[in-house]
Structure 1
């Protein structure tokens, strides 16, 4: 068994214009001051030059050195925004245009090509940085049709996943060349939003060895899934872990779909660590049991608590839940040291 690494923190929700949230060095120093050992880095140009990282090992060595000077390791890179743009249904074109540089807005085809190239660059950058996994989104072509009313035309979902696979297979091949796993966050709004859709995608990419999962139990709880059984089913594909809490308290007015209510009024909402319903003791136990070798990374999203409080509390929460795995059996003291011949005598053979 392996001891999970951590605590670490995903920086996407903390970036800002003022110190200590304005530069990579300031963020690393801030995270270390809270007790974090690692950061998951969004590939935002304010924090990393992705083109340089993909083409220059020296650039990557310098970046890692800067982080190490603050006592911080790099856990994974993230292309959540670019991955989203690999596949966008036209209904969302205007909303998602803001994720791309102005040059590509209003031009979905060019935006898609830019996004694909970005994720490929992230694979190469990850290799230069010595990382084994990468965090991203799958994008979505079929999401507007997740609830079958009116009845979906025959073959629509199959064609959506076939097209999703056509776009992602060349990207996954780059990840294979780089020796890096591509971990899709299983997330509503993405075509890969539960186990069944991940399996459908896996079939479409012919069970590509680099197609992996970023496990975030909050999204599974809000769908009322068994997030512990998920760990048992997909243990071999889970390569990244977001430690994020959530709660689901349905009432007579609204349930899983949220009634278009703001987050604070929804029956299902994200919470800071320890304030929700996710059974993290069981999750960390299963990850230790299944030899998860990655990082426990806080992703802070909460509609009530201040992010700086959530970050401060999150470091200790994760540290207290990481299980230092044992190197001995608890009943070794009672070992009789029997050999094979004795065992055969015991069984009468």
Structure 2
């Protein structure tokens, strides 16, 4: 049975109560009916990653804060730090703000800082007793996602070779700590669909800790079959974001969005239940494949107020979680046959 509902706190954290401390935001989330929280490790108002990686006592205290509100910590997130593990120069300035002030403007120092951050998250996750970790892969090839001008032979291969080389030592740290890395498959990352995930997976030797965070909203906006994706990759899906989306192309705008703001794009994110994602099919498919992780609301909507999205999202997830049955629906009609009877029914012993 999938666990939930849980909520990713990144989009809600702020300077005003109840969003400015872990204790207060956990009280708010619990009041809405959530059972778990996914914590962004870059937000010092909620979490101190360095201390968490060095102190089991601190992690016990953090878990205790959540538990005081009836919550558990589902995963830690290093989305922003993971992004900085690999940054194409075209994005240097745009992504520089994700880093600590002391390494901004210095790509090599920024990358080293990001790698250290993600490794620390592996240790902190172990201290918290977590089994999965949410992050981004970063990207070196993304500026060349559309093949015009024609990509030189070997360009993409070189990008993925380098991406794998940067992540392999990090994956080994996660292996040492017994935690899965769940890459959110996301446009803007080199791991943005199944094909790119497989290219990466091959280069890290099918590393058992290299896994997926499944978020169907990013597949809707690409025109990818998000239900079939579960059949293909269910063994690698270790985390789940419940986020809705819609894609309504017009005579003017399609997949690429025409440089329009989110509200005017053909593809845009919506609060759960307001978009086009078939969550009934998703929860059924994940349940069929034995996914035992958390259903975590990630609120991103260009129209609805976040607090309304959170309140509605808790109930939305609760309604979709399928409590797995312990017996077959037609057990009442069982005849209690045995091997000998089965052989007679098949005519084997005649």
Question: What is the SS of the residue equivalent to 1:12?
Answer: coil
Pairing of 1:272-291 with structure 2 (within 5 A): 272-291=271-290
2:212 equivalent in structure 1:
213
Question: What is the SS of the residue equivalent to 2:84?
Answer: helix
Pairing of 1:5-154 with structure 2 (within 5 A): 5-43=3-41, 44-154=43-153
1:182 equivalent in structure 2:
181
2:340 equivalent in structure 1:
341
Counterpart-to-counterpart distance in 1, 2:171 and 2:219: 25
Question: What is the SS of the residue equivalent to 2:137?
Answer: coil
Provide the aligned length of Structure 1 versus Structure 2. 347
Structure 2 residue 193 is the aligned partner of structure 1 residue 166: no
Counterpart-to-counterpart distance in 1, 2:265 and 2:107: 32
Pairing of 1:189-228 with structure 2 (within 5 A): 189-228=188-227
Counterpart-to-counterpart distance in 1, 2:68 and 2:214: 30
Per-residue CA deviations over 1:308-335 (Å, capped at 9, x if unaligned) read 0000100000000000010000000000
TM-score if structure 1 supplies the norm length?
A: 0.99
Counterpart-to-counterpart distance in 1, 2:253 and 2:64: 50
- For residue 52 of structure 1, report the CA deviation from its aligned partner: 1.2
Question: What is the SS of the residue equivalent to 1:242?
Answer: strand
Alignment RMSD (CA, Å): 0.5
Counterpart-to-counterpart distance in 1, 2:184 and 2:145: 18
Counterpart-to-counterpart distance in 1, 2:110 and 2:346: 69
- For residue 348 of structure 1, report the CA deviation from its aligned partner: 1.1
TM-score if structure 2 supplies the norm length?
A: 0.99
Structure 2 residue 323 is the aligned partner of structure 1 residue 324: yes
Counterpart-to-counterpart distance in 2, 1:254 and 1:287: 33
Per-residue CA deviations over 1:283-341 (Å, capped at 9, x if unaligned) read 00001100001000000000000000000100000000000010000000000011001
Question: What is the SS of the residue equivalent to 2:326?
Answer: coil
Question: What is the SS of the residue equivalent to 1:130?
Answer: coil
Higher mean Cα deviation, 62-71 or 208-217?
Answer: 62-71
- For residue 151 of structure 1, report the CA deviation from its aligned partner: 0.4
Counterpart-to-counterpart distance in 2, 1:251 and 1:67: 45
Counterpart-to-counterpart distance in 2, 1:66 and 1:41: 13
Pairing of 1:288-307 with structure 2 (within 5 A): 288-307=287-306
Question: What is the SS of the residue equivalent to 2:234?
Answer: coil
Per-residue CA deviations over 1:165-218 (Å, capped at 9, x if unaligned) read 000000000000000000000000000000000000000101000000000000
Per-residue CA deviations over 1:250-304 (Å, capped at 9, x if unaligned) read 0000100000000000010000010000000000000110000100000000000
- For residue 116 of structure 1, report the CA deviation from its aligned partner: 0.2
Counterpart-to-counterpart distance in 2, 1:262 and 1:55: 42
Counterpart-to-counterpart distance in 2, 1:30 and 1:202: 39
Counterpart-to-counterpart distance in 2, 1:304 and 1:137: 26
Question: What is the SS of the residue equivalent to 2:235?
Answer: coil
1:308 equivalent in structure 2:
307
- For residue 66 of structure 1, report the CA deviation from its aligned partner: 1.1
